[in-house]
Every structure is written in C-alpha cells, then in structure tokens.
Amino acid sequence: MDHANHRFAAKPRTTSRHRTTWGARCLLGLGAACCVAGAAHAADAPPPPLGVWTGKGQLGIVDSQGNTDAKSANAAVDLSLLEAAWKHALHLATLYGENAHVTAAERWETQWQSDYQVTPQLFSFGALRYEHDLFSGFEYQGSATLGAGYKLIDSSNVKLAVQAGAGYRTSRPEELIKNPAGAVIGRIFEPVQDDAIATAGLDYSQTLTKTTTLTDKLLVEAGSNDTLITNTLALTVKMSDRLALSLNYNVQDNTSPPAGLKKVDSIETINLVFGF
C-alpha cells in the first residue's frame, strides 16, 4: 500500500524515504520513556458493548505558505462491532497533499475484517482490502483472504495477536508520466496482475499510563508478483474522554514496485483523534 514518490512532498520536514526522521525518533523515544515511567499506572479499560458500533476518527492538516507553499490533509475512521462470538472491524483512510500548487498525494483505502472466536485465544477471520492511489504506480490494489489468528497476550494492559492466512490479490500497475515540475501529466496502464497470496499480521497495543497508549499494526501480503509490507506505529495521548492527540509513523514497502518508483514510502503525522 508503498513507494517513495512525490506524494510526500506535501509534508515538508516531516517525511522520510530512506532514514529515520524526527517523527520516528520522537515516537520511539516517547514510547520507551512511557514504558519505563508509566506502565505501572495503567488503568483497566471497560470492555466495548455488544451489538453497538464503536470507533474513532482522526484528522491531520498542514497548510504552509510563504517560502514553502504546501498543503496536506489526512483522515481516518475505525469502527468495530462485537456480536457474541463475532467481531467486525472497518478501516477507512484518505490522504491528500499539494506542493507548490502541484498535487503530490491522493490516496484512499478501505479494509474490512470479520473474526470468529473459536476459543478465548484462537479465532478465524476473513478480510478484504482495497486501495486507490494516484501516485503509487498502481491504479488499484485489492485482496481477499481467509485465515486464523491467536491472541498471545490478552491482559487489561497489553494485547498482542498474530494471524496468518491465504487468499487472492488483483492489482493494475501503471507508468506515471511527469513534467519537469514533477506533476503527473499522463498514465500508461499495464495489464492487470492476479496472484495467490499468503498473509501475515500482527496487532499490538499497550496501555502505558491512564492517558497514553502505544499501538503497532503489521500486515504482510506475499505473492509471486510482489510482497507488500505495511506497518503503522502510533503513540496516542488522551486529553479527555473523547479527544486525544496521536503521533503516527507509517511505512509501506513493495518489493517489486513499477518502473521508476522506489520500494519504500514513509510518513509521519500528528493527528487529532476523537472517539465515539
């Protein structure tokens, strides 16, 4: 769901393609400090209600004018529903960036996963993923998978689950034609690629203090045409029962990107998070 390209030019001084940036260092440093100083003060969170959709949304905006003329915005919504042995989760996200009046990023993605609890630790799942990105070198990427997962840790403070599965992926590579200013002025679509894939995932969260939570989500899709690795690390600090600030570090790695594009994209964002 990545390649380093012009999409991240819209976030000056906050994006890295080949090195760990201030955002990643701050996130890791804050996480480590909170683990040492505040893990003992974590509070038990009440379980989510059955049969009711709950979730959170987040929004981040950058608007720079003067010597640097750049705009960017990202938004995401995460919803979940518990029904007896079932858990359903929906993720929606979008990203837009503009640099010197040139569109540098335009992406939206959606993911759905349904889990069925076999035992308190073991669950089976079905998942769907779709991404449309104007600057990734793929017109679209979509997948459907089935598999099983296991909750390695499921305490009130720490949760760690792993999962593995198999499925099918379809994508359409495209060649981007750019002018000297870096704006995309044309696209050459390549044949659709379909392949069987194996997937692996990790979902980790830890309540560090009464107001601070560290999360990490990893997804790997491996196929004959390409292996996609996506990882999102986030540190969230609550300001009230409904509002929080989140520092996110996202990395996406395609092992076989389309011609002219790099393998790795990374982005750091600071977002306002609201729960509902």
With a cut of 50, say whether residue 139 has pLDDT above it. Answer: yes
C-beta of residue 107 within 8 angstroms of C-beta of residue 131: yes
- The predicted pLDDT at position 262 comes to 76
Q: Is pLDDT at 271 greater than 90 in this prediction?
A: yes
Q: Which two tokens stand for residue 101?
A: 């009046």
How crowded is the C-beta side of 8, counted as CA atoms within 13 Å? 21
Evaluate if residue 3 carries a pLDDT over 80: no
When pLDDT is averaged across residues 3-14 and rounded to a whole number, the result is: 37
Q: How far apart are CA 230 and CA 235, in angstroms?
A: 17
Options 3.40.50.720, 3.10.20.30, 2.40.160.40, 3.40.980.10; CATH for 6-40+54-275 is 2.40.160.40
> How far is residue 46's CA from residue 55's CA, in Å, rounded to a whole number?
14
User: Higher model confidence: residue 209 or residue 18?
Assistant: 209
Report the alpha-carbon distance of residue 199 to residue 197 in Å, rounded: 6
For the segment 18-48, what is each residue's pLDDT rounded down to a tens digit? 333 434 444 444 444 444 334 334 344 556 6
Q: pTM to 2 decimals? A: 0.77
The predicted pLDDT at position 119 comes to 97
Would the pLDDT of 67 be above 60?
no
State the chain's mean pLDDT as an integer: 82
Q: Is it the case that residue 61 has pLDDT exceeding 80? A: yes
N-term to C-term CA, the chain: 27
DSSP 23-80: HHHHHHHHHHHHHHHHGGG--PPPPPPBT--EEEEEEEEEEE-SSS-EEEEEEEEEEE
pLDDT the model gives residue 40: 38
pLDDT value at position 136? 79
